[in-house]
Amino acid sequence: MLVEGESIFIKALGQRIAFYREKKGFSLIDFSANARIEVEEIVAYENGRRSIQIEDFLKIANALDIDASQLIDGIVL
Residue 66 lies in a domain: yes
What pLDDT, on a 0 to 100 scale, did the predictor assign at position 42? Answer: 98
What's the total number of domains in the chain? 1
The domain containing residue 29 runs over which residues?
Answer: 4-72
Q: What's the whole-model pTM score?
A: 0.90
DSSP one-letter string for the chain: ---HHHHHHHHHHHHHHHHHHHHTT--HHHHHHHHT--HHHHHHHHTT-SPPPHHHHHHHHHHHTS-HHHHHTT---
Contact 35, 62 (CB under 8 A): yes
Residue 62 lies in a domain: yes
Question: Is the pLDDT at 22 greater than 80, yes or no?
Answer: yes
Residue 59 lies in a domain: yes
CATH number, position 26: 1.10.260.40
Contact 61, 70 (CB under 8 A): yes
* Distance of alpha carbon 32 from the chain centroid: 11
Residue 77 lies in a domain: no
pLDDT (tens digit per residue) in 46-60: 999 999 999 999 999
